[in-house]
Chains A and B, each alone.
Chain A
Amino acid sequence: MSKITSLADLKKKREELKSGLDIRVKAIDPENVVQVKVAMATCGIASGAKAIMEFFMEQLDRRNVAAVVTQTGCMGYCYAEPTVEVKLPGQDPVVFGFVDLKRADQIIEKYVKTGELVDGIIPVNYQTIDLKE
């Protein structure tokens, strides 16, 4: 395939893809899809959140999971970065800490696909020192 170097090339490539079967129709209502939020503050970025975000963006799509992956700011769990909040449709969000690629894979395969919890969950009653004051 020729290189994509301009918007015109990009558009041409899009049109080629449209004529094939590659473009999927995404679910639009975020309430009915899995929502993944990756904490992307200094603490998260320094701990590798970018690679985790790229992993979720790519792998959820590859594994045919209807999901919206977004970034969020610091959730206050700096000690446990990278942290990822996952909300399954109709359920309360769960925050996973110390997420590396292996744990990210487990989150998709176990929690997202089957609802089985995996290690690294940050308790919902966790509070930062600041909030206790």
Chain B
Amino acid sequence: MKELSLNILDIVQNSIRAKADEISVGINESADDDLYQIIISDNGIGIPGQILKNVTDPFVTTRTRRKMGLGLSLLKYHAELTGGGLAINSEEGKGTEVNATLSDKHIDRQPLGDIVGVLLILIASNEGINFIYHHKTEKGEYRFSSKETKEYLGVDKFDDRYLLEEIGCMIGENLKEIEASGLDLKERYKKIL
């Protein structure tokens, strides 16, 4: 995976499988502190203690279709490549928090990439889940909640392509405003502007 946003998309799949109805993705970046932190938390079923001990082992998974689980291992690898690390806290029945700490300035720290596209895929295809995205930089912070957005707009789900593109523009504009680094906003704006 070439972008941190793809790692995030991957780890969030674990939360979806854990039957979470609220999944939070937080990014905290600070060039001054040389910190790039990604925190993904959910209120799902949690990870059993025995599996939690070895959860970043690529050959540990709860899946039955295959015997490997590479998502957390890959994120840990990317974090460690920059001198950082990965911590996982989980309690059965309460939820899980994955906390990846990376060096912001390290040459091997991947760019964030198309996080807007990742969020749009998640909110469009998981209508029962409230996705909260929080991004903090030295210039400010931005928070998005799919549930609050639905309530504000009076819609049940995000199944309209135009609405999704507009939401993408809104998130992208706000991330540009706080100067989030390594963003790939693609051609998103040209589609509707």
Interface residues of A (CB under 8 A from B): 1, 3-7, 9-11, 13-14, 17, 22-24, 26, 40-43, 45-46, 50, 53-54, 57-58, 61-62, 68-71, 73-76, 78, 128, 130-131
**Residues on B with beta carbons closer than 8 Å to the beta carbon of A76:** 65-66
Question: How far apart sit A7 and B153, CA to CA, in the bound complex (Å)?
Answer: 8
Question: How far apart sit A130 and B164, CA to CA, in the bound complex (Å)?
Answer: 39
Q: A7-B152, A41-B13 are in contact. Are A58 and B161 (CB under 8 A)?
A: yes
A39 CB to nearest B CB, Å = 10
List the count of A-B residue pairs having beta carbons below 8 Å apart: 99
**Residues on A with beta carbons closer than 8 Å to the beta carbon of B163:** 14
Interface residues of B (CB under 8 A from A): 1, 6, 9-10, 13, 17, 63-67, 69-71, 74, 114, 117-118, 121, 124-126, 148-149, 152-153, 159-164, 166-167, 169-170, 173-174, 177, 192-193
- Whether A130 pairs with B67 at a CB distance below 8 angstroms is yes
A34 CB to nearest B CB, Å = 14
**Residues on A with beta carbons closer than 8 Å to the beta carbon of B159:** 26, 68
Residue of A nearest to B71 (CB): A42
Residue of B nearest to A26 (CB): B159
A85 CB to nearest B CB, Å = 13
Question: How far apart sit A128 and B124, CA to CA, in the bound complex (Å)?
Answer: 30
